[in-house]
Amino acid sequence: MSSNSPAAPGTPERPLRIAVIGSGPAGVYAADMLTKSEEVRAGLEVSIDLFDRYPAPYGLIRYGVAPDHPRIKGIVNALHKVLDRGDIRFFGNVEYGTDLVLEDLQKHYDAVIFATGAIKDADLNIPGIELEGSHGGADFVSWYDGHPDVSREWPLTAKEIAVIGNGNVALDVARVLSKHADDLLVTEIPDNVYQGLKSSPVTDVHIFGRRGPAQVKFTPMELRELSHSRDVDIVLYEEDFDFDEASDAAVKSSNQIKTMVNTLTNWLVEQEDDAADPTTGASRRLHLHFLHNPVEITGTNGKVTGIKFERTELDGTGNVRGTGEFIDYPVQAVYRSVGYFGSALPEVEFDHRRGVVTNDAGRVLGADGAHVPGIYATGWIKRGPVGLIGSTKGDALETITHLLADRHQLPLAAEAAPEAVVELLDSRGVEFTPWEGWLELDAHEKALGAAASEAGTVQRERVKVVPREDMVNVSRGANVGA
Protein backbone atom coordinates (compact mmCIF):
# COMPACT_ATOMS: atom_id res chain seq x y z
CA MET A 1 0.00 0.00 0.00
CA SER A 2 1.48 3.39 -0.99
CA SER A 3 1.57 6.27 1.45
CA ASN A 4 -1.10 8.05 -0.61
CA SER A 5 -3.53 5.13 -0.62
CA PRO A 6 -6.45 5.13 1.83
CA ALA A 7 -6.05 2.73 4.73
CA ALA A 8 -8.15 -0.40 4.54
CA PRO A 9 -11.09 -0.47 6.99
CA GLY A 10 -10.32 -2.30 10.19
CA THR A 11 -6.55 -2.10 9.79
CA PRO A 12 -4.19 -0.61 12.39
CA GLU A 13 -4.20 2.59 10.30
CA ARG A 14 -7.91 3.23 10.96
CA PRO A 15 -11.03 1.60 12.43
CA LEU A 16 -13.86 0.01 10.49
CA ARG A 17 -16.38 2.86 10.08
CA ILE A 18 -20.03 1.85 10.40
CA ALA A 19 -23.24 3.92 10.27
CA VAL A 20 -26.44 2.60 11.83
CA ILE A 21 -29.66 4.31 10.71
CA GLY A 22 -32.23 4.05 13.49
CA SER A 23 -31.72 4.14 17.27
CA GLY A 24 -34.51 1.84 18.38
CA PRO A 25 -33.68 -1.55 19.92
CA ALA A 26 -32.69 -3.03 16.53
CA GLY A 27 -30.13 -0.32 15.83
CA VAL A 28 -28.73 -0.15 19.36
CA TYR A 29 -28.43 -3.94 19.61
CA ALA A 30 -26.60 -4.08 16.28
CA ALA A 31 -24.16 -1.39 17.38
CA ASP A 32 -23.64 -3.03 20.76
CA MET A 33 -23.03 -6.46 19.24
CA LEU A 34 -20.44 -5.00 16.88
CA THR A 35 -18.48 -3.55 19.79
CA LYS A 36 -18.59 -6.89 21.64
CA SER A 37 -17.93 -9.21 18.69
CA GLU A 38 -15.16 -11.82 18.71
CA GLU A 39 -13.40 -9.87 15.96
CA VAL A 40 -13.29 -6.73 18.12
CA ARG A 41 -12.09 -8.71 21.11
CA ALA A 42 -9.34 -10.08 18.84
CA GLY A 43 -8.15 -6.57 17.96
CA LEU A 44 -10.44 -5.27 15.21
CA GLU A 45 -11.21 -1.58 15.77
CA VAL A 46 -14.68 -0.27 14.95
CA SER A 47 -16.06 3.27 14.92
CA ILE A 48 -19.87 3.43 15.01
CA ASP A 49 -22.22 6.37 14.43
CA LEU A 50 -25.92 5.94 15.20
CA PHE A 51 -28.37 8.23 13.36
CA ASP A 52 -32.03 8.84 14.06
CA ARG A 53 -34.66 11.04 12.42
CA TYR A 54 -35.97 12.04 15.86
CA PRO A 55 -34.10 14.29 18.30
CA ALA A 56 -34.41 11.60 20.99
CA PRO A 57 -33.25 7.96 20.86
CA TYR A 58 -35.06 4.63 21.43
CA GLY A 59 -37.43 4.57 18.42
CA LEU A 60 -40.68 2.69 19.03
CA ILE A 61 -39.79 2.22 22.69
CA ARG A 62 -40.36 5.96 23.08
CA TYR A 63 -42.97 6.42 20.34
CA GLY A 64 -44.70 3.06 19.92
CA VAL A 65 -45.32 1.51 23.34
CA ALA A 66 -48.12 2.52 25.69
CA PRO A 67 -46.83 4.79 28.48
CA ASP A 68 -48.38 2.67 31.23
CA HIS A 69 -46.26 -0.39 30.40
CA PRO A 70 -43.95 -1.05 33.37
CA ARG A 71 -41.52 -3.08 31.25
CA ILE A 72 -40.59 0.00 29.19
CA LYS A 73 -38.23 1.20 31.88
CA GLY A 74 -36.16 -1.98 31.79
CA ILE A 75 -35.69 -1.80 28.02
CA VAL A 76 -34.89 1.92 28.07
CA ASN A 77 -32.38 1.41 30.88
CA ALA A 78 -30.61 -1.30 28.87
CA LEU A 79 -30.45 0.87 25.73
CA HIS A 80 -29.29 3.85 27.78
CA LYS A 81 -26.38 1.89 29.23
CA VAL A 82 -25.16 0.98 25.75
CA LEU A 83 -25.28 4.53 24.40
CA ASP A 84 -23.95 6.08 27.59
CA ARG A 85 -20.66 4.13 27.41
CA GLY A 86 -19.26 6.67 24.97
CA ASP A 87 -18.02 4.25 22.29
CA ILE A 88 -21.04 4.80 20.01
CA ARG A 89 -21.82 8.31 18.75
CA PHE A 90 -25.47 9.40 18.56
CA PHE A 91 -26.76 11.87 15.97
CA GLY A 92 -30.43 12.71 16.49
CA ASN A 93 -32.65 14.89 14.29
CA VAL A 94 -30.92 13.63 11.13
CA GLU A 95 -33.23 12.45 8.34
CA TYR A 96 -31.95 9.77 5.98
CA GLY A 97 -32.84 10.71 2.41
CA THR A 98 -32.67 14.48 2.97
CA ASP A 99 -30.04 15.48 5.54
CA LEU A 100 -27.89 12.53 4.50
CA VAL A 101 -28.34 10.48 1.34
CA LEU A 102 -26.90 7.07 0.49
CA GLU A 103 -23.98 8.59 -1.39
CA ASP A 104 -23.01 10.56 1.74
CA LEU A 105 -23.08 7.47 3.89
CA GLN A 106 -21.04 5.44 1.42
CA LYS A 107 -18.51 8.25 1.24
CA HIS A 108 -18.04 8.43 5.02
CA TYR A 109 -18.59 4.80 6.10
CA ASP A 110 -17.39 1.38 5.08
CA ALA A 111 -20.75 -0.20 5.93
CA VAL A 112 -24.29 1.02 6.60
CA ILE A 113 -26.94 -0.83 8.61
CA PHE A 114 -30.56 0.24 8.16
CA ALA A 115 -32.62 -0.29 11.33
CA THR A 116 -35.50 2.07 10.58
CA GLY A 117 -38.26 -0.22 11.82
CA ALA A 118 -41.92 0.09 10.83
CA ILE A 119 -44.22 2.90 11.93
CA LYS A 120 -47.15 2.85 9.48
CA ASP A 121 -50.38 0.89 9.90
CA ALA A 122 -50.91 -2.15 7.72
CA ASP A 123 -53.84 -1.70 5.37
CA LEU A 124 -57.30 -3.09 6.03
CA ASN A 125 -59.08 -3.08 2.70
CA ILE A 126 -62.79 -3.06 3.52
CA PRO A 127 -65.51 -0.64 2.39
CA GLY A 128 -65.81 2.44 4.58
CA ILE A 129 -62.22 2.44 5.80
CA GLU A 130 -61.85 6.03 4.54
CA LEU A 131 -64.76 7.43 6.61
CA GLU A 132 -64.21 10.15 9.18
CA GLY A 133 -63.76 8.37 12.49
CA SER A 134 -61.77 5.50 10.96
CA HIS A 135 -58.22 5.59 12.30
CA GLY A 136 -54.98 3.67 12.19
CA GLY A 137 -54.00 2.27 15.56
CA ALA A 138 -50.34 3.15 14.98
CA ASP A 139 -51.33 6.75 14.30
CA PHE A 140 -53.17 6.88 17.62
CA VAL A 141 -50.17 5.36 19.39
CA SER A 142 -47.95 8.06 17.88
CA TRP A 143 -50.33 10.70 19.21
CA TYR A 144 -50.56 9.44 22.77
CA ASP A 145 -46.80 8.82 22.85
CA GLY A 146 -46.08 12.43 21.89
CA HIS A 147 -44.57 11.81 18.46
CA PRO A 148 -43.11 15.14 17.24
CA ASP A 149 -44.38 14.76 13.67
CA VAL A 150 -48.09 14.18 14.32
CA SER A 151 -50.84 16.62 15.20
CA ARG A 152 -51.17 17.42 18.89
CA GLU A 153 -54.96 17.12 18.56
CA TRP A 154 -56.93 13.88 18.29
CA PRO A 155 -60.70 13.52 17.71
CA LEU A 156 -61.96 11.81 20.87
CA THR A 157 -65.71 12.30 20.48
CA ALA A 158 -67.00 8.71 20.19
CA LYS A 159 -68.92 6.99 22.97
CA GLU A 160 -68.69 3.55 21.33
CA ILE A 161 -65.45 2.44 19.67
CA ALA A 162 -64.31 -0.65 17.75
CA VAL A 163 -60.67 -1.79 17.78
CA ILE A 164 -59.87 -4.38 15.12
CA GLY A 165 -57.01 -6.72 15.93
CA ASN A 166 -55.85 -9.23 18.52
CA GLY A 167 -52.24 -8.22 19.02
CA ASN A 168 -50.50 -6.23 21.74
CA VAL A 169 -50.97 -2.92 19.93
CA ALA A 170 -54.72 -3.51 19.73
CA LEU A 171 -54.81 -4.11 23.48
CA ASP A 172 -52.72 -0.99 24.11
CA VAL A 173 -55.04 1.12 21.96
CA ALA A 174 -58.17 -0.26 23.62
CA ARG A 175 -56.73 0.10 27.12
CA VAL A 176 -55.69 3.72 26.61
CA LEU A 177 -59.05 4.57 25.01
CA SER A 178 -60.99 3.04 27.91
CA LYS A 179 -58.73 4.12 30.77
CA HIS A 180 -59.48 7.25 32.78
CA ALA A 181 -57.01 10.00 31.95
CA ASP A 182 -56.27 10.73 35.62
CA ASP A 183 -54.93 7.17 35.97
CA LEU A 184 -52.36 7.90 33.25
CA LEU A 185 -50.94 10.94 35.02
CA VAL A 186 -48.36 8.78 36.77
CA THR A 187 -46.86 8.00 33.34
CA GLU A 188 -44.91 10.27 30.99
CA ILE A 189 -47.89 11.25 28.79
CA PRO A 190 -47.69 14.81 27.45
CA ASP A 191 -50.18 17.36 28.77
CA ASN A 192 -52.01 17.61 25.44
CA VAL A 193 -52.66 13.85 25.53
CA TYR A 194 -53.94 14.02 29.10
CA GLN A 195 -56.31 16.86 28.20
CA GLY A 196 -57.56 15.02 25.13
CA LEU A 197 -58.26 11.77 26.97
CA LYS A 198 -59.79 13.69 29.88
CA SER A 199 -62.46 15.08 27.56
CA SER A 200 -63.33 11.73 25.96
CA PRO A 201 -66.99 10.69 26.39
CA VAL A 202 -66.23 6.99 25.75
CA THR A 203 -68.37 4.39 27.47
CA ASP A 204 -67.70 1.20 25.47
CA VAL A 205 -64.60 -0.07 23.65
CA HIS A 206 -64.93 -3.31 21.65
CA ILE A 207 -61.89 -5.38 20.63
CA PHE A 208 -62.53 -7.76 17.73
CA GLY A 209 -60.45 -10.74 16.66
CA ARG A 210 -60.98 -12.82 13.55
CA ARG A 211 -60.05 -16.14 15.18
CA GLY A 212 -60.64 -17.77 18.56
CA PRO A 213 -59.23 -17.24 22.08
CA ALA A 214 -56.43 -19.75 21.49
CA GLN A 215 -55.21 -17.89 18.38
CA VAL A 216 -54.76 -14.42 19.85
CA LYS A 217 -51.44 -12.69 19.22
CA PHE A 218 -51.12 -10.70 22.42
CA THR A 219 -49.09 -11.82 25.41
CA PRO A 220 -50.15 -12.66 29.00
CA MET A 221 -48.78 -9.42 30.49
CA GLU A 222 -50.75 -7.25 28.07
CA LEU A 223 -53.89 -9.29 28.69
CA ARG A 224 -53.61 -9.07 32.48
CA GLU A 225 -53.08 -5.31 32.28
CA LEU A 226 -56.63 -4.95 30.96
CA SER A 227 -58.01 -6.00 34.34
CA HIS A 228 -55.97 -3.37 36.19
CA SER A 229 -57.87 -0.38 34.81
CA ARG A 230 -59.94 1.39 37.45
CA ASP A 231 -63.68 1.76 36.80
CA VAL A 232 -63.55 -0.35 33.62
CA ASP A 233 -65.48 -3.62 33.33
CA ILE A 234 -64.27 -6.40 31.04
CA VAL A 235 -67.12 -8.07 29.16
CA LEU A 236 -66.84 -11.40 27.32
CA TYR A 237 -69.30 -13.48 25.32
CA GLU A 238 -69.79 -17.23 25.68
CA GLU A 239 -70.57 -17.72 21.98
CA ASP A 240 -67.08 -16.42 21.15
CA PHE A 241 -65.35 -19.22 23.03
CA ASP A 242 -64.70 -22.07 20.62
CA PHE A 243 -61.75 -24.46 20.45
CA ASP A 244 -60.87 -26.92 17.70
CA GLU A 245 -58.21 -29.65 17.53
CA ALA A 246 -55.49 -27.14 16.66
CA SER A 247 -56.56 -24.94 19.58
CA ASP A 248 -56.30 -27.84 22.02
CA ALA A 249 -52.87 -28.75 20.65
CA ALA A 250 -51.69 -25.14 20.97
CA VAL A 251 -52.84 -24.96 24.60
CA LYS A 252 -51.00 -28.20 25.42
CA SER A 253 -47.79 -27.18 23.65
CA SER A 254 -47.47 -23.54 24.78
CA ASN A 255 -47.55 -22.29 28.36
CA GLN A 256 -48.15 -18.78 27.07
CA ILE A 257 -51.26 -19.78 25.12
CA LYS A 258 -52.43 -21.91 28.05
CA THR A 259 -52.06 -18.94 30.41
CA MET A 260 -54.03 -16.62 28.14
CA VAL A 261 -56.81 -19.13 27.50
CA ASN A 262 -57.09 -19.85 31.23
CA THR A 263 -57.22 -16.15 32.02
CA LEU A 264 -59.94 -15.48 29.47
CA THR A 265 -61.92 -18.54 30.50
CA ASN A 266 -61.72 -17.63 34.18
CA TRP A 267 -62.96 -14.13 33.42
CA LEU A 268 -65.89 -15.61 31.49
CA VAL A 269 -66.76 -18.02 34.32
CA GLU A 270 -66.63 -15.22 36.90
CA GLN A 271 -68.88 -13.14 34.70
CA GLU A 272 -71.38 -15.97 34.26
CA ASP A 273 -71.51 -16.53 38.01
CA ASP A 274 -73.42 -13.28 38.15
CA ALA A 275 -75.49 -13.76 35.03
CA ALA A 276 -78.09 -11.18 36.04
CA ASP A 277 -75.49 -8.40 35.83
CA PRO A 278 -72.05 -9.40 34.54
CA THR A 279 -70.61 -5.92 35.21
CA THR A 280 -69.75 -4.06 38.39
CA GLY A 281 -71.49 -0.92 37.28
CA ALA A 282 -68.27 0.72 36.08
CA SER A 283 -68.63 3.83 33.95
CA ARG A 284 -66.72 2.22 31.08
CA ARG A 285 -66.72 -1.24 29.53
CA LEU A 286 -64.08 -3.09 27.53
CA HIS A 287 -65.61 -5.85 25.39
CA LEU A 288 -63.54 -8.75 24.05
CA HIS A 289 -64.97 -10.40 20.93
CA PHE A 290 -63.57 -13.38 19.04
CA LEU A 291 -64.59 -15.09 15.77
CA HIS A 292 -65.50 -11.78 14.09
CA ASN A 293 -64.23 -10.88 10.61
CA PRO A 294 -64.73 -7.20 9.64
CA VAL A 295 -66.46 -6.75 6.30
CA GLU A 296 -67.59 -3.10 6.21
CA ILE A 297 -67.47 0.15 8.15
CA THR A 298 -70.81 1.89 7.77
CA GLY A 299 -71.46 5.61 7.93
CA THR A 300 -73.74 8.56 7.40
CA ASN A 301 -72.70 11.90 5.90
CA GLY A 302 -69.13 10.64 5.62
CA LYS A 303 -68.82 9.73 9.30
CA VAL A 304 -68.57 6.33 10.98
CA THR A 305 -71.83 5.13 12.52
CA GLY A 306 -71.22 1.38 12.75
CA ILE A 307 -69.23 -1.67 11.70
CA LYS A 308 -70.38 -4.97 10.20
CA PHE A 309 -68.77 -8.34 10.88
CA GLU A 310 -69.24 -11.84 9.58
CA ARG A 311 -69.21 -14.46 12.29
CA THR A 312 -66.49 -17.04 11.72
CA GLU A 313 -65.90 -20.57 12.95
CA LEU A 314 -62.75 -22.58 13.48
CA ASP A 315 -62.02 -25.14 10.76
CA GLY A 316 -59.98 -27.64 12.78
CA THR A 317 -56.58 -26.21 11.83
CA GLY A 318 -56.74 -23.05 13.94
CA ASN A 319 -57.88 -21.04 10.93
CA VAL A 320 -61.43 -19.84 10.36
CA ARG A 321 -64.12 -19.81 7.70
CA GLY A 322 -67.14 -17.58 7.32
CA THR A 323 -70.54 -18.71 8.59
CA GLY A 324 -72.72 -16.39 6.53
CA GLU A 325 -74.05 -14.77 9.71
CA PHE A 326 -73.55 -11.00 9.88
CA ILE A 327 -73.68 -8.69 12.90
CA ASP A 328 -73.77 -4.91 13.04
CA TYR A 329 -72.39 -2.90 15.95
CA PRO A 330 -73.17 0.79 16.45
CA VAL A 331 -69.87 2.65 16.90
CA GLN A 332 -68.71 6.16 16.12
CA ALA A 333 -65.02 5.35 15.69
CA VAL A 334 -62.99 2.41 14.38
CA TYR A 335 -59.29 1.78 15.03
CA ARG A 336 -57.50 -0.77 12.88
CA SER A 337 -54.62 -2.48 14.69
CA VAL A 338 -53.84 -5.30 12.29
CA GLY A 339 -50.09 -4.76 12.26
CA TYR A 340 -47.35 -2.36 11.28
CA PHE A 341 -45.86 -1.92 7.82
CA GLY A 342 -42.40 -0.71 6.82
CA SER A 343 -41.72 2.38 4.72
CA ALA A 344 -39.55 2.41 1.60
CA LEU A 345 -36.12 4.03 1.92
CA PRO A 346 -34.68 6.28 -0.80
CA GLU A 347 -32.18 4.52 -3.09
CA VAL A 348 -32.73 1.12 -1.43
CA GLU A 349 -34.63 -1.75 -3.03
CA PHE A 350 -37.93 -2.37 -1.23
CA ASP A 351 -40.36 -5.29 -1.13
CA HIS A 352 -43.70 -3.48 -1.22
CA ARG A 353 -45.64 -6.68 -0.61
CA ARG A 354 -43.91 -7.47 2.68
CA GLY A 355 -42.97 -3.94 3.68
CA VAL A 356 -39.26 -4.69 4.10
CA VAL A 357 -35.96 -3.73 2.52
CA THR A 358 -35.07 -6.39 -0.03
CA ASN A 359 -32.42 -8.48 1.69
CA ASP A 360 -30.90 -11.90 2.17
CA ALA A 361 -30.48 -12.56 5.90
CA GLY A 362 -29.57 -8.92 6.46
CA ARG A 363 -27.50 -8.33 3.32
CA VAL A 364 -29.41 -5.69 1.31
CA LEU A 365 -29.95 -6.67 -2.32
CA GLY A 366 -30.05 -4.49 -5.40
CA ALA A 367 -32.41 -4.62 -8.36
CA ASP A 368 -30.29 -7.39 -9.87
CA GLY A 369 -30.66 -9.57 -6.77
CA ALA A 370 -27.01 -9.23 -5.78
CA HIS A 371 -25.81 -7.94 -2.43
CA VAL A 372 -25.10 -4.21 -2.51
CA PRO A 373 -21.58 -4.04 -1.03
CA GLY A 374 -21.52 -2.52 2.44
CA ILE A 375 -25.31 -2.17 2.87
CA TYR A 376 -27.20 -4.18 5.51
CA ALA A 377 -30.50 -4.21 7.40
CA THR A 378 -31.76 -5.43 10.76
CA GLY A 379 -34.97 -5.38 12.80
CA TRP A 380 -38.47 -4.91 11.43
CA ILE A 381 -37.29 -3.23 8.22
CA LYS A 382 -35.38 -6.48 7.57
CA ARG A 383 -37.86 -9.18 8.60
CA GLY A 384 -41.21 -7.41 8.94
CA PRO A 385 -43.04 -6.24 12.08
CA VAL A 386 -43.11 -9.53 13.98
CA GLY A 387 -41.38 -10.73 17.10
CA LEU A 388 -40.37 -9.12 20.37
CA ILE A 389 -37.01 -8.14 21.87
CA GLY A 390 -35.55 -11.65 21.68
CA SER A 391 -36.19 -11.78 17.94
CA THR A 392 -34.63 -8.36 17.50
CA LYS A 393 -31.43 -9.47 19.20
CA GLY A 394 -31.20 -12.63 17.08
CA ASP A 395 -31.82 -10.54 13.98
CA ALA A 396 -29.02 -8.14 14.85
CA LEU A 397 -26.60 -10.98 15.50
CA GLU A 398 -27.29 -12.50 12.08
CA THR A 399 -26.73 -9.18 10.31
CA ILE A 400 -23.58 -8.34 12.26
CA THR A 401 -22.14 -11.81 11.61
CA HIS A 402 -22.53 -11.29 7.87
CA LEU A 403 -21.12 -7.77 7.96
CA LEU A 404 -17.99 -8.92 9.78
CA ALA A 405 -17.60 -11.87 7.43
CA ASP A 406 -17.69 -9.39 4.51
CA ARG A 407 -15.33 -6.87 6.06
CA HIS A 408 -12.37 -7.58 3.79
CA GLN A 409 -14.52 -6.94 0.71
CA LEU A 410 -16.18 -3.75 1.95
CA PRO A 411 -15.72 -0.66 -0.25
CA LEU A 412 -13.33 1.92 1.22
CA ALA A 413 -14.88 5.09 2.62
CA ALA A 414 -13.17 8.06 0.99
CA GLU A 415 -13.65 10.33 4.02
CA ALA A 416 -13.40 8.05 7.02
CA ALA A 417 -12.26 10.60 9.59
CA PRO A 418 -14.91 10.78 12.36
CA GLU A 419 -15.05 14.58 12.22
CA ALA A 420 -15.84 14.60 8.47
CA VAL A 421 -19.52 13.72 8.89
CA VAL A 422 -19.89 16.35 11.61
CA GLU A 423 -18.46 18.96 9.26
CA LEU A 424 -20.83 17.80 6.52
CA LEU A 425 -23.92 18.12 8.74
CA ASP A 426 -22.79 21.51 9.99
CA SER A 427 -22.20 22.72 6.42
CA ARG A 428 -25.79 21.76 5.55
CA GLY A 429 -27.25 23.48 8.58
CA VAL A 430 -28.52 20.23 10.12
CA GLU A 431 -29.29 20.82 13.80
CA PHE A 432 -28.30 17.37 14.94
CA THR A 433 -28.68 16.43 18.59
CA PRO A 434 -25.81 14.54 20.27
CA TRP A 435 -26.02 12.04 23.12
CA GLU A 436 -25.20 14.81 25.59
CA GLY A 437 -28.19 16.66 24.16
CA TRP A 438 -30.45 13.72 24.93
CA LEU A 439 -29.18 13.72 28.51
CA GLU A 440 -30.19 17.40 28.71
CA LEU A 441 -33.65 16.65 27.28
CA ASP A 442 -34.04 13.66 29.58
CA ALA A 443 -33.24 15.84 32.61
CA HIS A 444 -35.58 18.58 31.31
CA GLU A 445 -38.52 16.16 30.99
CA LYS A 446 -37.86 14.83 34.49
CA ALA A 447 -37.78 18.41 35.81
CA LEU A 448 -41.16 19.03 34.17
CA GLY A 449 -42.43 15.91 35.93
CA ALA A 450 -41.12 17.10 39.28
CA ALA A 451 -42.78 20.50 38.80
CA ALA A 452 -46.08 18.83 37.86
CA SER A 453 -45.82 16.60 40.94
CA GLU A 454 -45.40 19.61 43.21
CA ALA A 455 -48.36 21.35 41.61
CA GLY A 456 -50.69 18.34 41.76
CA THR A 457 -51.53 15.26 43.78
CA VAL A 458 -49.83 12.65 41.58
CA GLN A 459 -46.12 11.89 41.41
CA ARG A 460 -44.91 12.21 37.82
CA GLU A 461 -41.50 10.89 36.83
CA ARG A 462 -41.43 12.99 33.66
CA VAL A 463 -43.58 14.95 31.25
CA LYS A 464 -42.64 14.25 27.66
CA VAL A 465 -41.73 17.20 25.43
CA VAL A 466 -43.62 16.94 22.13
CA PRO A 467 -42.71 19.72 19.63
CA ARG A 468 -39.62 18.86 17.63
CA GLU A 469 -38.36 22.45 17.84
CA ASP A 470 -38.51 22.36 21.64
CA MET A 471 -36.75 18.99 21.75
CA VAL A 472 -33.96 20.29 19.52
CA ASN A 473 -33.63 23.55 21.45
CA VAL A 474 -33.31 21.79 24.79
CA SER A 475 -30.89 19.24 23.34
CA ARG A 476 -28.74 21.98 21.82
CA GLY A 477 -28.72 24.14 24.92
CA ALA A 478 -31.47 26.70 24.31
CA ASN A 479 -33.94 27.71 26.98
CA VAL A 480 -37.49 26.47 26.44
CA GLY A 481 -40.40 27.33 28.67
CA ALA A 482 -42.30 24.53 30.38
CA quadruple 251, 70, 381, 212: dihedral sign: positive
pLDDT of residue 276: 58
Q: Is residue 371 within 8 Å of residue 111, measured between CB atoms?
A: no
pLDDT of residue 405: 96
Residue of higher predicted confidence among 151 and 280? 151
Domain ranges of the chain: 16-119+342-432, 120-340
Q: What is the CATH number of domain 120-340?
A: 3.50.50.60
- Over residues 45-61, mean pLDDT: 96
Q: What is the pLDDT of residues 242-276, one digit of tens each?
A: 999 999 999 999 999 999 999 999 999 988 876 65
- Among residues 84, 153, 103, 92, the alpha carbon closest in space to that of 411 is found at 103
Would 16-119+342-432 and 120-340 be classified into the same CATH topology? no
Fold of domain 16-119+342-432: Rossmann fold (3.40.50)
Question: Is residue 277 scored above 70 in pLDDT?
Answer: no
Q: What's the first-to-final CA gap in the chain, in angstroms?
A: 58
Q: What is the pTM of this model?
A: 0.91
For residue 391, what pLDDT band results from cuts at 50, 70 and 90?
Answer: confident
What is the 3 state secondary structure string of the chain? Answer: CCCCCCCCCCECCECEEEEEECCCHHHHHHHHHHHCCHHHHCCCCEEEEEECCCCCCCCHHHHCCCCCCCCHHHHHHHHHHHHCCCCEEEEECCCECCCECHHHHHHHCCEEEECCCCCEECCCCCCCCCCECEEEHHHHHHHHCCCCCCCCCCCCCCCEEEEECCCHHHHHHHHHHHCCHHHHCCCCCCHHHHHHHHCCCCCEEEEECCCCHHHCCCCHHHHHHHCCCCCEEEECCHHHCCCCHHHHHHHHHCHHHHHHHHHHHHHHHHHHCCCCCCCCCCCEEEEEECCEEEEEEEEECCEEEEEEEEEEEECCCCCEEEEEEEEEEECCEEEECCCEECCCCCCCCEECCCCEECEECCEEECCCCCEEEEEEECCHHHHCCCCCHHHHHHHHHHHHHHHHHCHHHCCCCCCCCHHHHHHHHHHCCCCCECHHHHHHHHHHHHHHHHHHHHHCCCCCCCCCCCCHHHHHHHHCCCCCCC
pLDDT of residue 479: 58
For residue 98, what pLDDT band results from cuts at 50, 70 and 90?
Answer: very high
